[in-house]
Structure 1
């Protein structure tokens, strides 16, 4: 169970990181639309798992590689945005959120 502080920091990181990724534009990710769906922060607030949804989903692996390559730059820019709210900017790890693909597959099976 996440504490209230973890949830607040997760929402803050989700909002700001989503804006940073959107600002980079579609060209940075080969025309794929990237959305930050959730952020889970560790209890010591030093690590954040960032879940991203990618459309179209066949470009998900390429987008994840690019996000992993740019993780340090994104963390630095995130630190510039949240420097007055957080003492330590957490390390960032990106994960692909494939829940929409799963829902679509279940719908197709039920038809």
Structure 2
């Protein structure tokens, strides 16, 4: 089912506010890596928000997700203070890992390998033509 305009608006608002909250709490740059809010998807009743986190160069992503969940109360309180006038209720937050960036890197590696293999095959066929 496609998101409504209101769901998208609230999702964008929460994404912006959470990004700022994460920056103030020091979550955006940790252990030499970066965390960003990739997307926020709202349920139709606007009571639940699925927050997708993109983690770049963070080795223990599940551990980091656990640390963020430990501070959920603090995050939700800060979010409530910021969006309390726009929303009747602050949505329940659920954090997920966004693996789009990992997928992109894997695809780039595969394309590089295919290109290398293709150039090796062409190089070998040129050698075979020269020997005939």
Same fold per superposition (TM over 0.5): yes
- Structure 2 residues without counterparts, runs of 5 or longer: 113-132
| Superposition RMSD in Å | 1.7
- The question of whether the paired residues in 2 share the 8 Å contact of 1:33 and 1:54 is answered with yes
Q: Give the unaligned 5+ runs of structure 1.
A: none
Would the aligned equivalents of 2:18 and 2:37 in 1 still touch at CA under 8 Å?
yes
Q: Which residue of 2 aligns with 1:23?
A: 24
Which runs of structure 1 show a deviation greater than 3 angstroms over 4 or more consecutive aligned residues? Answer: 26-32
Q: Which residue of 1 aligns with 2:68?
A: 67
If the length of structure 1 is used for normalisation, what is the TM-score?
0.92
Answer yes or no: is 1:95 the counterpart of 2:96.
Answer: yes
| Number of matched pairs | 111
Change (3 A) 1:27 1:107: closer
- Larger RCO (CA within 8 A; separation ≥ 6): 1
TM-score calculated relative to the size of structure 2: 0.78
